[in-house]
Amino acid sequence: MALTSGAISLVKKFANHIQVAGTAATGGTGPYSYTWHYSTTSGFSPDSGNKADGATGLQATIKGLVPGQTYYVKMLTTDEGASGATVASDQLTVQTLPFEDNQNQFIQTPGLGQVDLRYSVNTISGLAGEDLVSGQAVKFGSDNKLHACTSNSDRVDGFIVLNVKKNTYANNDALEIARGGSYITLRATSALSAGDPVAIDPSCIGGVTAIVSTEDPCGQAMKTVAAGELVVVYLACPAL
């Protein structure tokens, strides 16, 4: 009997990830292995370029999604037995939940450099190597202190986190920086759409701008904003 995929369904959705489940395949000779694939293009073909990291088995979590975005999901079944056949499930359409600002650190109105504690998963302490302020993109220097990033091409080691009692720092002052995997409030220096990759704008402390092709992204905008507005950014630098 020919290999036939099981059905897939949504278990639960969130702003930046979804939980999905499938039923076992039938036919072929078994055993079966499963991988999950997703795209923003309906009718896509599952391949290595759209495979969800770590999403194997009949239950899986697909991570790193954009809030409010429609995704198309398929489960790819491979018959590991004699046939070696592969078959894709029917397509599942899922729209992630919209991102909602959560001012849960110090203040009700978000401030430059404020982290969202729900998603603050990678922060570290350091020492200022010069005058710095909250929200600033910084890098570690040869003195192992933090210095301002002054170019879009600079390596970004993190963004200075807002401290309600102290948001300016002099040489040797202790501070905390948010790194890849955390969400921090920055200022959009150009109009941004939800999901846009963003790069630092060195002309504006705590500023991010829509990425251009020659730059590496430092993060991803979580909502649509106009130039000059504060926006929550998912940090991608340095990678977890």
Q: What is the pLDDT of residues 144-170, one digit of tens each?
A: 999 999 988 889 999 999 987 888 999
The Cα-based distances of 200 to 5, 27, 155, 233 in angstroms read 45, 53, 10, 11
Q: How far is it, in rounded angstroms, from Cα 176 to Cα 174?
A: 7
Q: How far is it, in rounded angstroms, from Cα 219 to Cα 145?
A: 23
Nearest to 18 by CA among 67, 63, 66: 63
Q: How far is it, in rounded angstroms, from Cα 208 to Cα 217?
A: 10
Say what the pLDDT of residue 149 is: 95
Q: How far is it, in rounded angstroms, from Cα 236 to Cα 197?
A: 9
Say what the pLDDT of residue 103 is: 67
Say what the pLDDT of residue 153 is: 86
Q: Is the previous residue joined to 31 through a cis bond, with omega within 30 degrees of 0? A: yes
Residues of the chain with pLDDT under 70: 82, 103-108, 240
Name beta bridge partners: 32: 79
pLDDT tens, residue by residue, 181-196: 899 999 999 999 988 9
The Cα-based distances of 67 to 13, 23, 44, 196, 197 in angstroms read 10, 27, 21, 11, 14
- The owner of tokens 């894709």 is 88
Q: Which helix (H) or strand (E) holds 48?
A: none
SS3 181: coil
Give the pTM.
0.68
